[in-house]
Amino acid sequence: MAKNKLNKNWLHDHINDPYVKLAQKEGYRARAVYKLKEIDESEKLIRPGQVIVDLGCTPGSWAQYARNKLAGKEGGGIHGTIIGLDMLPMEPIADVHFIQGDFREESILHQLEDVLEGRKVDVVLSDMAPNLSGVAITDAARVEHIIDLAIEFAQAHMKPSGALLVKCFNGSGYTQLLEKFRQEFKIVVSKKPKASRDKSSEVFLLGKILKNPA
């Protein structure tokens, strides 16, 4: 019974969520887009001409936003390159290169390198989050693992002057993650966008300029 009530409460909140309504109105696939939009507007992350990689991109609202920021090329298309990676399938988005698979696997990295054509990435975005168990120590380890993967990806593929934006959670293990970012990046900013639900402990860490580029 409690679970059904919880689901009904979530559904009620979701249907009445102003960001859900706005996403539907503006044609975005998820309300998460407004988290990226707010961070981008304050930090000026995404600009025409960039190479952008979106890790864990499905369903695609962040890639949609990046595409809109890079749009405006004469005759259609975008100024720049957007590559989305996810183990789950994603409905196509115009001008976005989607690669389905695990970016730790050689075959997927080869596909990525084919699109990059020797270029380094300007911005790495990651809205990835693990399945949370509710056990603080276990969840902290899972979150840390995913962020380690994003940092390793950035070190291997990003320009030294680039930026990495990741989702994490303010709780067990957060201080260590913040310290890890400070070890890897010259500028580190923590962001809690208005579009993050009040009940959610999620925060976003932004690292700019690699201290130890590959």
| Residue 102 is labelled as binding a ligand | yes
Q: How far apart are CA 14 and CA 199, in angstroms?
A: 13
- Is residue 86 annotated as involved in ligand binding? yes
Classify residue 106 as left (phi > 0), alpha (psi -120 to 50) or beta: alpha
Distance, in Å, from the CA atom of 95 to the CA atom of 102, rounded to the nearest integer, reads: 21
> Three-state DSSP class for 175?
helix
Consult the annotation and say whether 122 binds a ligand.
Answer: no
Q: Give residue 121's Cα distance to chain centre.
A: 14
Active site (annotated) includes residue 120 = no
Known binding residue 62? Answer is: yes
Strand partners, 47: none
- For the chain, helix (H) and strand (E) counts, in that order, are 7, 7
* Residues forming a β-bridge with 121: 158
Phi first, then psi: give them for residue 157, nearest 5 degrees.
Answer: -120, -10
* CA-closest candidate to residue 206, choices 167, 154, 157, 153: 167
Which of 44, 167, 186, 194 is the catalytic position? 167
Binding site, by residue number, is 60, 62, 86, 102, 127
Binding site for S-adenosyl-L-methionine, by residue number, is 60, 62, 86, 102, 127
Q: Which residues are catalytic?
A: 167
